[in-house]
Structures are given as structure tokens and as C-alpha cells.
Structure 1
Amino acid sequence: MSDEHELETDCELVGIVAVADNDVIGKDGDMPWHIPADLTHFKETTMDHPVIMGRVTYEGILEALGEPLPGRTTIVLTSRPLETPENAVVANDLEGALEAAERAARKRHNTDRVFVAGGATVYEQLLPALDRLIVTEVHDDPDGDTRFPTWDRESFREVSRAEHDGFAFVEYARRERTD
């Protein structure tokens, strides 16, 4: 894992994830729940922004939608060769992913916010650099094979929470760094 100081961008870097009470985020390449409100929340939150994700997450989206996320630039972090359409870019390392996302944010989307949308390895690698986390807390303990990495909750403060039946939308902002 890279040191957080090596991962620099002028954009706000925001992790977005749905995670169960037992830290499960996936099972067999998919989410182990179906919460339409969460899918809508993800779409509305990430629309018109670059989204960094790993290859497995990207392929799952392609399988579900038949295309990369519409209205967003997808940055696929992978060491494997991968053919992508115009609104998707392959990056072979974290620095390349952040550079591609920052370029897309400025030139294509006119924003200073970049989202990180998984999977577990990508979250783990970019957690130290995140400015914000937008979490759908799923109040359940499903079986799964993919978990959200352990994160230092003391480094973040909760800034908003909206409770719903069986889940909550929660936003966390990183506390000021003292280094």
C-alpha cells in the first residue's frame, strides 16, 4: 500500500460504498442485497464525476448495465490489458488513476470531486488519501466474500445521517491531518 503522501490530487477524493454491519460489501462479484434507493443514491451522487474502480467492479457494472456508468468517466485500475469505450480509461497504478481522474474532473465534468467505488483492494489502497466517505450502512449481516477494509474511524467525523428502513446514508469527512 502506498503512503498517503504519495497519493496526491487537487480534487476532493470521496469513497462511496454500501457496507453491511459485518463489513461485507460483496458476494460472488455482486452485492448481497438489493436496495433500489441505494442504487439511486449512488447514481445521483456520482453523476457527472469521474469514478475510480477496480477491474472486477468495472466488469460487474458492464455485466449489469451493458456499458460503463453513463454520465461519468470510469477510471479502471488494473494491471491487465483492457479494451474500454470512450467514457472509460484504464490506469495501471494508483498515481495514474488519480491523474486520469483529475484530468476527467477538470476537462470533462467541470468538477473538483472524484469518487472511489471499489472493490475492496481499491478501497484499501485509497483509504489513506480519502477526504470523505459516503457510506450506505446496510443493517444486516449477509454472507459475503468481499469486505470493506478496516478504517480509522477516529480520522473521520460523521457530518450527516439519513436513516431508512434497513439502511442509512451516512457521510463522513476526514478530520484535519496533523502531520
Structure 2
Amino acid sequence: MTSFKASTLLNQLVSVAALAENRVIGNDGGVPWPDLPEDVRQYRERVADSPVILGHKTFESMRGDLPGRRQIVVSRTVDAVDDPTAVVAGGVDAAIELARELVGDRADPETAVYVLGGGTIYELFQPRVDRMALSHVDGVYEGDTRFPAWDEVEWRVVGETEYEGFTLREWVRRSNAS
């Protein structure tokens, strides 16, 4: 793995996820908790005009309602996807390079590329992300997919908003926090 940070290539690389108190993010291709419309709304608003990075299974599960302006699908086995807004990257470095090309020379320091999962994709990108926008869902749920553990010493919460059923926390890697 290359030792440079994503922010040397991009303005911000941000993981976005909803996770239960036990870090469960999914079960059998869906979420195990009741619908949280406010979470879906804030998530869609956040990623709407940005490139997103996601795994092939996550991409396929969202086919009818793809998030973001462009999708970078990380897969070692798929050469192409049948969607005009999506491209395939063979790994983390290739995905970050594609994201850098999509973002281009945008002057806005808040321009972000969002990592949307699934579990393996979050794990692969965790060492590279600058921020995390995590919806901490109330409760413990059974599931087959978890968000990777992170060392809270390396991160700090810079924003927190309470909603019914979850709390949205904005985490920033301490080396990036001012």
C-alpha cells in the first residue's frame, strides 16, 4: 500500500455509513433496523453532487437509485459495469486516482469523495479517509456486515446532531483537524 494520504490527491475522502451500537451496518444485503427517513435524507443530500466509491455488491444493491454524481466501483473481478455514470477500479489506489480525475482542479477545499461501503470497502479505505460521517443508530442489531473498528485516539468528533433513532457524528482524523 502506498504511504501517501488521500488528501494529497483529493480535497477530502470521507466514509459515510449508518452503524448500530455494535458496529453492524448490514444483514443479508439490507439494514437490520427500522426505516430512518431522516438518515436517508441527510445521506442523499451529502453525496448528491459528489463522486462516490463503493464495492460491486453495494453498487448492485443500489442500481435503481444510485447515489452521487459518479460511482467508482471497486472490484478485482468485474471489468465494466453497465451504467453510464459508473467506472470500475481494481483497488484502492486505482479508485483514488479515478476520484482525483473526477474532482479535477476544483478550488473548493470542501470538495469530497465519499466511501459508501460495503464492509470490505470501508476496511480497505479506512487508513486513507480524512473524515467519517457516521449515523450512530440507537440499539444493537444482528448482522453479517460491520463497520471497521477505529482508534478513537486518532479521531475527534467535530459535529453531532441528534435525530429520532440515531445521532449523526462528524469525525475528523486528528492529523487533519485544526
TM range, smaller chain: 0.7 to 0.9
| Unpaired stretches in structure 1, ≥5 consecutive residues | none
Partner of 1:10: 10
Deviation at 1:36, TM superposition (A): 1.0
Equivalent residues, number:
171
Tell me, in whole angstroms, the C-alpha distance in 2 between the residues paired with 1:5 and 1:107: 19
Matches within 5 A, 1:12-161: 12-33=12-33, 34-62=35-63, 66-69=64-67, 71-81=68-78, 82-106=80-104, 112-161=111-160
Percent identity among equivalent residues? 36
Superposed displacement of residue 5, structure 1 = 2.9
**Superposed CA offset, 1:17-65 (max 9, x none):** 1000011000001111221111111100011100000011111111xxx
What CA distance in whole angstroms lies between the structure 2 residues aligned with 1:51 and 1:84? 17
Query: 1:165 offset after TM fit, Å?
Result: 2.0
Which is further off, 115-124 or 7-16? 7-16
1:107 offset after TM fit, Å? 7.4
Shift of 1:83: 2.2
CA RMSD of aligned residues (A): 2.0
Counterparts in 2 of 1:44 and 1:4: CA distance versus 1, 3 Å? farther
Counterparts of 2:167 and 2:32 in 1: how far apart (Å)?
Answer: 16
Tell me if the contact between 1:27 and 1:146 (Cα under 8 Å) persists in the aligned partners.
Answer: yes
Q: Report the CA distance between 1:6 and its aligned residue.
A: 7.0
With over 3 angstroms needed to count, the CA separation of the structure-2 counterparts of 1:107 and 1:83, relative to structure 1, is farther
Q: Say if 1:165 and 1:105 are closer, same or farther in 2 by CA, change over 3 A.
A: same
Unaligned segments of structure 2, at least 5 residues: none
Residue 162 of structure 1 aligns to a residue whose secondary structure is strand
Question: What letter corresponds to residue 50 of structure 1 in structure 2?
Answer: P
User: 1:111-142 CA distances to partner (integer Å, 9 max, x unpaired)?
Assistant: 73111011111111111111100000001111
Distance change in 2, residues 1:142/1:80 (3 Å): same
